[in-house]
Amino acid sequence: MFNTEFKKQLEQKVDAMIESIGGKSPHFAGVDGKYDDMPTDWWTSGFWPGILWILYDLTGKEHYKEAAWQWDEKLEPWFINLTDDIHHDVGFQFLPTAVIKHTITNDKDAYRRGIEAANFLAGRYNAAGQFIRAWNGDLNGWTIIDCMMNISLLFWASRETKDPRYKHIAVRHADTALKHFIRDDGSSRHIVSFDPETGEFIEGLGGQGAGPESAWSRGTGWALYGFINAYKNTGDARYLQASKSVAHFFLANLPEDRVPYWDFRLPSKEGQPRDSSAAAIAASGLLELAEAVPEVERSLYRDGAIGILTSLTEKYSSVYDLSRDSILNGATGHKPAEMYVDGSLIYGDYYYIEAIAKLLGWKNRIF
């Protein structure tokens, strides 16, 4: 399915998205399939340009590069005009903009912005608790599983600058996440609270999951992908084993169509929405995992990813509907708050394209 012809269809879809979305910063699309326009300090602002950079890298077509080029420049002023929406998610914002731009084009300003973002992220490190603080305000002691994806920015900065301090912070955070987030069965917490002064563990919190001891499906995807990224950057077998454990939990708990409900531990699934974004994130992480394990283990993870992507394409996507901005339907952002439920989320679209790009031979990956 995911061949040259499908690649051409993706190009047609993204071309139509460029026409409709333009310079907007999309986050959520409802039943009409039309994306909103969020302020560019919002954590998802890097994913639309990330899609464009991937298409440029796959095809070499200049209009994708032209549409993506200015995005890291658009985001940079937020380091001066700080808001509560600039926090640990600078990884999500600058990895698919400045970092990939520099990787592909060697642009010096993109490099500077990537390092600037890494410095900002490193500045959120709590040495007592050995974690990177998540959000702003009074939540000094909170960290979340999502940040396992953001620490890739620190690993990149260490490679580029030859300065191990960034990597040291990333490793300490990963160790803390391994200890306090990942349960014995491979499930993950969303939020962990520490005393910011002493670093002492206080409690796990439900966050965007159904409860403190539930298993939020998107957070499970972040954990799966984040720990395989940490392994690829360090060679630490503990991280590989963590990613495998989470992957086994994810795959074993999928419903028949391979797309999870928004939480794996719901009292009842009747009337509950799915989260196609969690499926896309996990699929892309599974493909990374498949490349990291011995050949005898590879098919479990690769076949799992392809099964998820096939179901997403056949049952949840608008790849062939050029009238809609969005690619994946059936995504759920924050069910406990009844926000962004059962629609389309730009990061679901991003990780769907990222995963398929890997199957098509994309090489300039950012992790």
At residue 366, the pLDDT reads 85
Q: For 239-295, write each residue's pLDDT tens digit.
A: 999 999 999 999 999 999 999 999 999 999 999 999 999 999 999 999 999 999 999
Q: What is the pLDDT, as a whole number, of residue 302?
A: 98
Average pLDDT over residues 318-327: 97
Task: Decide if pLDDT at 367 tops 90.
Answer: no
**What 3-state DSSP class applies to 193?**
strand
- Which of the four pLDDT bands, split at 50, 70 and 90, describes residue 200? very high
pLDDT, tens digit, for every residue of 66-118?
Answer: 999 999 999 999 999 999 999 999 999 999 999 999 999 999 999 999 999 99
Q: Which residues are catalytic?
A: 89, 146
First-to-final CA distance of the chain: 26
Q: Which pLDDT does position 168 carry in this prediction?
A: 98
Are 136 and 88 within 8 A, CB to CB?
Answer: no
Taking the C-alpha atoms of residue 137 and residue 122, their distance in angstroms, rounded to an integer, is: 18
Q: Over 90: is that where the pLDDT of 8 sits?
A: yes
Share of the chain above pLDDT 70, in %: 100
Tens-place pLDDT, residues 143-168 = 999 999 999 999 999 999 999 999 99
Q: Distances in Å between the alpha carbon of 296 and those of 291, 357, 362?
A: 11, 24, 23
**Residues 284, 288, 289: CA angle, nearest 5 degrees:** 115
Give CATH for domain 4-359: 1.50.10.10
Give the pLDDT of residue 147: 98
Mean pLDDT of 181-189: 98
pLDDT at 271: 96
**pLDDT for residue 308:** 98
Query: What's residue 289's pLDDT?
Result: 98
- What is the predicted pLDDT for the residue at 178? 98
Distance (Å, rounded) from C-alpha 167 to C-alpha 326? 36
Contact 192, 180 (CB under 8 A): yes
Q: What's the pLDDT score for residue 85?
A: 95
* Confidence bin at 138 (pLDDT 50/70/90): very high
pTM to 2 decimal places: 0.98
Using 50, 70 and 90 to split pLDDT, how confident is the model at 363? confident
